[in-house]
Amino acid sequence: MRRPYRLLVRYLLGSAGLLLVAFGVAWSVLSNMGTQPLSCPAYVLASTGRFTIGNWTIFINMFYLLVQLAVFRRRFKAKYLMQILATVVFGYMIDFSMWCFGWMVPSALATRLLLIVLSCVVTALGVSIEVIAQSWMLSAEMTVYAISKTYHTPFDRTKVVMDSLLVIVTLALAYAVYGNPFGFGQFEGMASLLCGTTDGIVVGFGTLVSAILPGALMRFTNPVADRLMDAIIDREIFGKL
């Protein structure tokens, strides 16, 4: 009986990690300073009014799954299909987070910067919990893993390249749809872009911060997640079974 309970708790913790990452996405969007790189394309597409950010996140992650099939080929394992469920859950978590925090309309620059930093903190903690739980894995991260494993490239460098490509794709997409590569608002100069004073900023200062800070913060959140896993699984619950 011990193993099923352990598996259940791992997936519950992994789901909590996904929810924290979804909070991070929502807060980065609401800061209007620039969205996290992995959510940039979904935010631009959602701004057209066709489907939500969560829906577009699901669609885009399904594309990542096709990339994995092309990279892994015969080495693609059936268990990787769990990404589909994880992605659907995550997409709805993003929409839930946007609904929960939709009342946030920060106007002061300090408040928006604080929101970006908080989004990075919860994202780092959420990813740390996901990794430690060894349960859910989103298609974006799995795609980075697939490329890194197949072509023998460092995971962190591969993720940086992928994030950079997503930002470039977003710039091109936003320019094609709105004539403004940085979002769906009116471009009023770099000062306005950096300070977030123009509505509809998708790629901005916050995007750069979100690409760098969570990875750095995981040096601190990984031990926290490790202790959490140890306390819940090894001591408090399974130590009594």
- Tokens, residue 164: 């950079």
Contact 20, 65 (CB under 8 A): no
Residue 241 confidence (pLDDT) above 50: no
Ranking 37-51, 52-66, 126-140, 196-210 by mean pLDDT, the lowest is 126-140
Helix (H, G, I), strand (E, B) or coil at 71: helix
Contact 202, 170 (CB under 8 A): yes
| pLDDT, tens digit, 9 for 90 and up, residues 150-188 | 898 887 778 888 888 899 999 999 999 899 999 888 888
Residue 235 confidence (pLDDT) above 60: no
| Whole-number pLDDT of residue 234 | 58
Q: Which residues sit opposite 201 in a β-bridge? A: 183
| Whole-number pLDDT of residue 171 | 93
Q: Can you tell me the mean pLDDT for 20-33?
A: 94
Residue corresponding to tokens 């494993």: 149
Using CB atoms within 10 Å of the CB of residue 237, give its burial: 0 to 12 exposed, 13 to 18 middle, 19+ buried. Answer: middle
Residue corresponding to tokens 């015969």: 74
Residue 126 confidence (pLDDT) above 70: yes
11 band by pLDDT with thresholds 50, 70 and 90: confident
Contact 139, 91 (CB under 8 A): no
pTM: 0.87
Residue 18 confidence (pLDDT) above 90: yes
Buried b (16+ CB within 10 A) or exposed e, 108-135: eeeebbebbbebbbbbbbbbbbbbbbeb
Ranking 90-94, 109-113, 118-122, 225-229 by mean pLDDT, the lowest is 225-229
Buried b (16+ CB within 10 A) or exposed e, 17-49: bbbbbbbbbbbbbbbbbbbbbbbbbbbbbbbee
Render 99-157 in DSSP notation, one character per residue: HHSTT----SHHHHHHHHHHHHHHHHHHHHHHHHHT----HHHHHHHHHHHHHT--HHH
Cα torsion through 104, 185, 26, 172, rounded to 10: -170
Contact 82, 7 (CB under 8 A): no
- Tokens, residue 88: 């659907």
| pLDDT, tens digit, 9 for 90 and up, residues 32-80 | 999 999 899 999 999 988 899 999 999 999 999 999 999 988 888 888 8
Contact 2, 241 (CB under 8 A): yes
| Whole-number pLDDT of residue 2 | 60
Q: Which residues sit opposite 183 in a β-bridge? A: 201
| Whole-number pLDDT of residue 3 | 65
In the chain, where the domains are located? 2-240
Residue corresponding to tokens 């631009």: 44
